[in-house]
Structure 1
Amino acid sequence: SGIYKYNNKYALDIDYLNKLLAEENYATPKRLILQVELANSLISDGKLTEAKSIINQVLIEYKEILPDDNTHVLYALVTKAMALDKMGEFKQSKTLYEKVIAQRTKIFGAKHPKTLTAMNNLTAVERSLGHLDKARQIFEQIITTKTEVLGADHLSTLISKSNLLTIMVELGELDKADIYSKEILAEFIQSLGSLHSRTLEVYNMRAYLLEDLGKLAAAEKIYRDNLNRYKEAGTTTGPGLFGLQNNLAMLLMKQSKYPESKKIFNALLENVDGILGKEHIYYAIFIGNYGELLMKMQDYSAARILLQQSYDKISATFGEAHQRTVKAKKRLEQLKQLNKKNTKAEFES
């Protein structure tokens, strides 16, 4: 199971765990632990409703045999919070994370990795709720603690710094983020090397920041250089490339470089399909972006199919109120308006 998870083979892991649970007559504690692992893989595979149903039943059974502050119970709560977060139920997710943080602080202390991990997850929910200042405050607290306990150049500390960079960009502090991104990129290169997967992620973040600053040529150069770094590191497919391929394709679309953007989108979708499959939520998100490109290329029939598929999956996963669903619906409305204009122009001609 661990090997499947490490290699992002979540569908295989789900089949394996279901087979174990069906074939073996496990005692209740071990069965519940396996069910929590199954729920985690279902979340990673985009099957959120099924994961939530399983974890709810696990928590009901745990309540009969374990105290609320048991570590297995807290891990199950974290799993449920993750599912709620991805389903767009952010307030409920936040409540669970805050409960876990309070319990883990009591059991392990405020500086323990398990406590810090829960705090890190909470920041993602705060961001989704639009509480960016709160998220920044938590990240700064995490970085201070990790620097004290682990050191400034520890991988975990560096990752938290990269997360803070994301918050700065979202807060619109672009000039500060520009300076900070250079600083932490230098730290990543010094500590991990220029070809480490985490360093490559920071390169990607810096390019995205430069896009927001309107420095499109500089951003494009970093994206392209980063693709070459991945190749140099021996990586031509895999989840580490998802964000990079998508960002470069979107940037090229923004610059009206449609044929090359289409080529990269096709490589991205082949990559995602090979790793996660077409049913994963990432595939739905990326075909929505590709559908926007096809719309700009006036391939309305192909765009309609992809945009509708994207909307159907995203709305079923996140709900109608989620920002991703709103964006997917807006794209369909834009396509409808373009079709009307196109039909009218053909009629008048």
Structure 2
Amino acid sequence: MNRAITLICRALASRAGVLGEDHPSTLASRNNLANAYESAGDLGRAIPLYERTLADQARVLGKDHPNTLISRNNLAGAYRSAGDLGRAIPLYERTLADQVRVLGEDHPDTLGSRNNLASAYRSAGDLGRAIPLYERTLADQARVLGEDHPDTLTSRNNLASAYRSAGDLGRAIPLYERTLADRVRVLGEDHPNTLASRNNLAGSYESAGDLGRAIPMYERTLADRVRVLGEDHPDTLGSRNNLAYAYRSAGDLGRAIPLYERTLNDCVRVLGEDHPTTQTVRSNLDVARNG
């Protein structure tokens, strides 16, 4: 990820120097850099860059330009990643309404925004709004994009997660299993979305009390994420936390506590003291030590 950020920074500097700060290609590079920072877990740099890019695109391209709408969606996503749902949800709602008006109900960007809004509702614990919105989005994406389109697979994964959050493992687990199988077939074993599906399926097995299936799947997912994404990727850190949690659930504190300690140190170093993942790992470690 550090190499990607370096390359995007160079491209941004070159475009700004040759084309100017306000050229659409320069603005696109700035959005890409913000996205790279967000993917690396550096929300402290991602959010201000998203905010600046959105303001410049609205000024240069107009509030209704598709690129402006995409930037607004991206900023809402960064707010959500930072746990700031008070800013994320209204921005998602506004973006969706504008995309319906400008692009139409069935445009892929509109469908993506509807999925993102459902995810924000789920993060806020509002499953009464999240689940029907996920179900509608999945049906529309299957109809418009096809059953095997990556966006359709993402929506199916997210709907399974909402079912799991609602305690409906009878619907969540089969949907996770189907999505994982389809992602392996369509995207490949090592695609980040495939790894996410495997992590989620392991979590649903754990929720069902089936640690015999959950722990080996968590272990495999962690090993694959280290190999594919690297030791410090936010998804890798999340997998390490999940595996430690499963060890603790199985009563194996001898493996859980050292894994939590290592993960906490890495989260502080990579993500910072105040990142939601860091706070979650710290809380889990406290419970493992004192519970």
Judge conservation of contact 1:200–1:226 (CA < 8 Å) in 2.
yes
Q: Specify every segment of 5 or more residues in structure 1 that has no aligned partner in the other structure, as ranges.
A: 1-6, 266-288, 293-302, 319-323, 339-349
How far apart in 1 are the matches of 2:21 and 2:175?
51
Output one character per residue of 1:82-101: Cα deviation in whole Å (capped at 9) or x when no partner: 22112222121111222221
How far apart in 2 are the matches of 1:224 and 1:333?
22
1:247 aligns with 2:242: yes
Matched with 2:108 is: 113
How far residue 168 of structure 1 moved from its aligned partner, in angstroms, is 0.9
Judge conservation of contact 2:248–2:288 (CA < 8 Å) in 1.
no
How far apart in 2 are the matches of 1:308 and 1:246?
10
Q: Specify every segment of 5 or more residues in structure 2 that has no aligned partner in the other structure, as ranges.
A: none
How far apart in 1 are the matches of 2:247 and 2:285?
21
How far residue 140 of structure 1 moved from its aligned partner, in angstroms, is 0.5
1:127 aligns with 2:98: no
Judge conservation of contact 1:11–1:45 (CA < 8 Å) in 2.
no
How far apart in 1 are the matches of 2:288 and 2:180?
40
How far apart in 2 are the matches of 1:41 and 1:55?
11
The structure 2 residue matched to 1:46, chosen from 41, 44, 47, is 41
How far apart in 1 are the matches of 2:2 and 2:118?
24
Aligned length: 284
Q: What SS does the corresponding residue of 2:97 show, helix, strand or coil?
A: helix
Alignment of 1:186-335 (within 5 A): 187-188=182-183, 191-192=185-186, 195=189, 197=191, 198-223=193-218, 237-239=227-229, 242=236, 244-257=239-252, 265=259, 289-290=260-261, 306=265, 309=268, 313-315=272-274, 317=275, 327=280, 330=283
Judge conservation of contact 1:13–1:41 (CA < 8 Å) in 2.
no
Q: What SS does the corresponding residue of 2:167 show, helix, strand or coil?
A: coil
How far apart in 1 are the matches of 2:203 and 2:252?
18
How far apart in 2 are the matches of 1:15 and 1:173?
45
Judge conservation of contact 1:52–1:83 (CA < 8 Å) in 2.
yes
How far apart in 2 are the matches of 1:335 and 1:225?
23
Letter of the aligned partner of 2:60 in structure 1?
A: I
Letter of the aligned partner of 1:34 in structure 2?
A: S
The structure 1 residue matched to 2:65, chosen from 63, 70, 76, is 70
Judge conservation of contact 1:35–1:54 (CA < 8 Å) in 2.
yes
**Superposed CA RMSD:** 3.8
1:90 aligns with 2:61: no
Letter of the aligned partner of 1:108 in structure 2?
A: L
Q: What is the aligned-residue identity percentage? A: 24
Letter of the aligned partner of 2:173 in structure 1?
A: D
Change (3 A) 1:103 1:164: same
How far apart in 1 are the matches of 2:124 and 2:194?
28
Change (3 A) 1:326 1:207: closer
Matched with 1:26 is: 20
Question: Which structure ranks higher in relative contact order (CA pairs < 8 Å, sequence separation ≥ 6)?
Answer: 1
How far residue 144 of structure 1 moved from its aligned partner, in angstroms, is 0.7
Judge conservation of contact 2:105–2:111 (CA < 8 Å) in 1.
yes
Output one character per residue of 1:185-237: Cα deviation in whole Å (capped at 9) or x when no partner: 55556x53983635554343222111111111122244456679x5xxxx861
How far residue 138 of structure 1 moved from its aligned partner, in angstroms, is 1.4
Judge conservation of contact 1:14–1:42 (CA < 8 Å) in 2.
no
How far apart in 2 are the matches of 1:331 and 1:169?
20
How far apart in 1 are the matches of 2:262 and 2:16?
41
How far residue 167 of structure 1 moved from its aligned partner, in angstroms, is 0.9
TM-score (norm 2): 0.77
How far residue 141 of structure 1 moved from its aligned partner, in angstroms, is 0.7
Which has more radius of gyration? 1
Q: What SS does the corresponding residue of 2:23 show, helix, strand or coil?
A: helix
Residues 134-143 or 49-58, more deviating: 49-58
Output one character per residue of 1:76-135: Cα deviation in whole Å (capped at 9) or x when no partner: 212221221122221211112222212222222111111111122222211221112312
Judge conservation of contact 2:103–2:110 (CA < 8 Å) in 1.
yes
Change (3 A) 1:112 1:18: closer
TM-score (norm 1): 0.66
1:139 aligns with 2:134: yes
Letter of the aligned partner of 1:42 in structure 2?
A: Y
Matched with 2:10 is: 16
Q: What SS does the corresponding residue of 1:238 show, helix, strand or coil?
A: helix
Q: What SS does the corresponding residue of 1:85 show, helix, strand or coil?
A: helix
